Amino acid sequence: MEKIFVTSIGIISSIGRNTEETLYSLIEGKGGQRATCYIDSHIARSLPLCEVPFKNRDLADMAGVPEDMFMTRCSLLAAVASKEAVAGAGIRLDDDITTGIIVGTTVGGMDRSELFYKEYSKDKKSGDIKDVICHDCGDTASKISQLIGKYDFVSTISTACSSSSNSFITGVRLLKAGVVERVVAGGSDALTYFTVNGFNSLKIFDSNPCMPLDAGRKGLNLGEGAAFAVLETEDTIKKTGNIPICELSGWNNCAEAYHQTASSPDGDGAYTAMTKALEKAGLGPGKIDYINMHGTGTENNDLSESVAVKRVFGDKIPMLSSTKSLTGHTLGASGGIEAVISILALKEKIVPGIARFKTPIEETELVPVVKTIKNINIHHVMSNSFGFGGNNSSLIFSRC
């Protein structure tokens, strides 16, 4: 079976504007929680949010977006992260390698359309039309493909919080079927008035920096960001000459078919996603060195996921942590951000620690890695992402 390699990564979140800054924050255990300044919402102002500390104009400059190109914040974050990934893989406008671009996102251009809608709701004739034309989720992938100059396959996936993990899975399918030779897969989401209020209405925010996987967890912190990885086949690597960072060795997406938002108490969906990803990779559970957990910090997810981890791994629980304790929950970007962090862990030989951990969850007693471990030989890393609609995805990255 043909192998799928990761040859480059790019990332932006509240803990760093590129791979280098992200690595530094992971090693230092530096979280991105701060008082927000870009969303006009009194709920947002009362919460710690993991905002990317740059104005849209600064993001546009970082990404080298032409001045006449209208971009939502979601697209700007994606542009910054994809630019780093594209540069690292040496993707050029004039190379003849067919390239797919797949973006995962939950609300796409909502960051601008909600500005329009606030005005529109007061007076149907007001609101700046320009703010609403990029509302649809597909806008970001289209803009990224224009910036990269590749149009062989452009698509967008929206499966709530597992969106960008699923962009990797569809990417693998395209590569295996020979639809394209190379895929830029990942995702992006910006903080919005809409999602801040959505999660607030669900009462699953922690009013302090979050404590995933902790018995005392009170909920999540919302974040924003984007991350992409470049995937190539063995044949493509022969053409590009890229040296793989690691292999994408296992993947699975499945439905839990249980509830629109809640995870089942025995973690069935998570169990299936992890088990089938292991099967795909041809690995026994004992081979996984580190799990980057979905670990949102909510009562329901963390218990259900921990139960599923115990079911899959038994007595031999791998090292694990939730980097959402640092980046917050970046929704449609989280699968991509955590996949990139998992790849970075393999590349830089680290196991990222979790912030603020004190007490294990009583029912499962899982103890995460608290302080980032450096210079450690790890071979296989699993990254979990679960979303509304009972959507569960696991990816496995392996040293090659």
Partner 1 sequence: MAVYFKGFGGLFPEKDHEKGMFLCPRPPIKEFVDPKESRRMSSIVRSGVFSGMTALKNAGVEKPDGIITGTGLGCLSDTIKFINSILQYNEENLNPAPFIYSTHNTVSGQISIITGCKGYNTTFVHRGISFENALFEAFLMVSENLRLNILAGGVDELTEEYIDITRRIGLYQNGVEPGEGSGFFVLCGERKGAVAKLVDIKLVPVTDRKKTEASLIDFLDRNKVVPDKTFILTPFNGDPDHDGWKKKKVLSLNWKGMLSPKQKSGEFMTAGALALVTALEMITEGNADKIFIWNSFLNMESAFILVEHV
Residues forming contacts to partner 1 in the complex (CB under 8 A) are 41-43, 105-106, 108, 114, 117-118, 120-121, 124, 129, 132-133, 135-138, 141-142, 145, 151-160, 166, 169-170, 173-174, 176-177, 179, 193-194, 197-198, 200-202, 253-261, 268-269, 272, 387-391
Q: Which is nearer to partner 1, 55 or 259 (CB)?
A: 259
CB of 244 to partner 1, least distance (A): 24
**CB-based contacts of 211, cutoff 8 Å, min separation 6:** 217, 218, 297, 325, 356, 357, 358
Region of 315 please: left (phi>0), alpha (psi -120 to 50) or beta.
alpha
CB of 94 to partner 1, least distance (A): 16
Alpha carbons 378 and 172: distance in angstroms, whole number: 23
CB of 245 to partner 1, least distance (A): 26
Alpha carbons 68 and 142: distance in angstroms, whole number: 16
Q: How many helices (H) and strands (E) does the chain have?
A: 13, 12
Alpha carbons 245 and 27: distance in angstroms, whole number: 19
Q: Which is nearer to partner 1, 170 or 323 (CB)?
A: 170
Q: Which is nearer to partner 1, 92 or 259 (CB)?
A: 259
CB of 256 to partner 1, least distance (A): 7
DSSP tag of 214: B
Q: And the tokens for 360? A: 């294990």
Q: Which is nearer to partner 1, 147 or 320 (CB)?
A: 147
CB of 41 to partner 1, least distance (A): 6
Alpha carbons 210 and 114: distance in angstroms, whole number: 27
CB of 347 to partner 1, least distance (A): 28
Q: Which is nearer to partner 1, 137 or 344 (CB)?
A: 137
Alpha carbons 309 and 366: distance in angstroms, whole number: 9
Looking up tokens 């007061």 gives 122
**CB-based contacts of 68, cutoff 8 Å, min separation 6:** none
CB of 106 to partner 1, least distance (A): 7
CB of 241 to partner 1, least distance (A): 27
CB of 96 to partner 1, least distance (A): 15
Q: Which is nearer to partner 1, 26 or 396 (CB)?
A: 396
Per DSSP, helices labelled H in the chain are 19-28, 42-45, 56-63, 73-88, 110-122, 138-148, 163-176, 193-201, 234-240, 268-281, 299-313, 324-327, 334-348
How many residues make up the chain in this entry? 400
Alpha carbons 10 and 87: distance in angstroms, whole number: 9
Q: Which is nearer to partner 1, 18 or 197 (CB)?
A: 197
φ, ψ for residue 309, nearest 5 deg: -60, -40
Q: Which is nearer to partner 1, 171 or 368 (CB)?
A: 171
User: Which has the closest alpha carbon to 244: 255, 232, 228?
Assistant: 232
CB of 349 to partner 1, least distance (A): 33
Looking up tokens 């394209």 gives 180
Q: Which is nearer to partner 1, 170 or 325 (CB)?
A: 170
Alpha carbons 46 and 39: distance in angstroms, whole number: 11
CB of 374 to partner 1, least distance (A): 37
Q: Which is nearer to partner 1, 173 or 316 (CB)?
A: 173
* 3-state SS assignment for residue 247: strand
Q: Which is nearer to partner 1, 12 or 157 (CB)?
A: 157
